[in-house]
Structure 1
Amino acid sequence: MIKPDGVKRKLIGEIISRFEKRGFNIVAMKMVHIDRTTAERLYEEHKGKSFFEELINYITSGPVVCMIVEGEEAVTVVRKMIGNTDPKEAPPGTIRGDYALTKAENVIHASDSEEKAKREMSIFFVENEIVAIM
């Protein structure tokens, strides 16, 4: 998911291009404005933590681009491509290393496991919105 700061800074094309150049297929994509209920569902594992409200307020502050990226070892490789959550720790060449400004506004979200990917995909997409690439 390209977060509100990434959308606002017009990084959508650049980020999609990186995934496609790496050989991944984008099999679903849409721009949405996440409501609070959906945001709380997305970040339910962080409920009760000190940063939860800030996270919810941020992700609902503007449009995001949700997408499903498909390919060999997609979860593992995409996580490496995006870099550390804290851009100070993200190496140059990663999406966050190149574009993120702060830990709170770090341009992109990606699932950290196949289980979470399946759960998060179901939050934003229904089956007929996912396209098989030949």
Structure 2
Amino acid sequence: MFAKLAASAALRNARAFASRAAPAARASAMPLAIGAGAAVAAFAAPLALEGPRTIAGEYKTASERSFVMIKPDGTSRQIVGKIIDRFESRGYKLVAIKSVVPSEELAKTHYKDLASKPFYPALVKYITSGTPVIAMVWEGKDIIRQGRRMVGATNPLEADPGSVRGQYAVSVGRNIIHASDGFDSATHEIGLWFNESELAEYEPAAWGQIMADN
């Protein structure tokens, strides 16, 4: 009988100790749980971008986009395919393309930063002359800067021989092609020439290999 009473008392004491210890154990474990949760949240959070995402993608990422336009002289000389091949062979992705004869309003808006230049009226007249331009959006890592390098200097006589202008042009008035000169201008120009619904979202078969860093 005494053994049963002793065992019962011991069981009650053990339960009471467990009840008192449980809140303390939970309290001491809480900082660890919070720390682990913060670590997981930090790991899962998206990496900081180089800039805001716009219609031109994300600056300095593989989604960066640039506006490229083959001008009427390039179209009339039938070298559109050769120019496109340069960008495709480099590994960049064509996400939009169309042939269009620009309106005077569109041409003036596109070249509004040149409105004070003496050649501005002739430039607008030339772009709207009736021969279509080929408007394109290209995507890929550093496409804005690399696109400008591939296009070459504004004056073809100063352009590198391997560039589009260095190979195909000799006159600054007929320099074949235009490419956005910065992320802000790419955002503006893509939005000016294209609706967002016209920009294709897809991944070429070799995209991961082309854009990989390791």
Identity of aligned residues (%): 43
In structure 1, the gaps of 5 or more residues are none
| Cα distance between partner residues in 2 of 1:133 and 1:54 | 39
| Cα distance between partner residues in 1 of 2:179 and 2:154 | 10
* Count of aligned positions: 134
Q: Give the C-alpha shift of residue 91 in structure 1.
A: 1.2
| Cα distance between partner residues in 1 of 2:202 and 2:105 | 32
Q: What RMSD over aligned residues (CA atoms) do the two structures have, in Å?
A: 0.7
1:25 corresponds in structure 2 to 93
| Cα distance between partner residues in 1 of 2:102 and 2:201 | 25
Q: Give the C-alpha shift of residue 58 in structure 1.
A: 1.4
Contact 1:25/1:133 (8 A) holds in 2: no
| Residue 58 (str. 1) matches residue 164 (str. 2) | no
Q: Using CA pairs below 8 Å that are at least 6 residues apart, which structure has the higher relative contact order? A: 1
Structure 1 segments of 4 or more deviating over 6 A?
A: none
Contact 1:84/1:96 (8 A) holds in 2: yes
Q: Give the C-alpha shift of residue 100 in structure 1.
A: 1.4
Given the two structures, how large is their TM-score scaled by the length of structure 2?
0.62
For 1:70, give the aligned amino acid: E
| Residue 3 (str. 1) matches residue 71 (str. 2) | yes
Bigger proportion of residues as helix: 2
Match of 1:74 among 116, 140, 143: 143
Give 1:87-126 correspondences, 5 Å limit. Answer: 87-126=156-195
* Bigger Rg over Cα: 2
Given the two structures, how large is their TM-score scaled by the length of structure 1?
0.97
Q: Give the C-alpha shift of residue 132 in structure 1.
A: 1.2
Deviations along 1:59-112, one digit per CA (max 9) or x if unpaired, are 112200000010000100000001001110011110000011310100000010
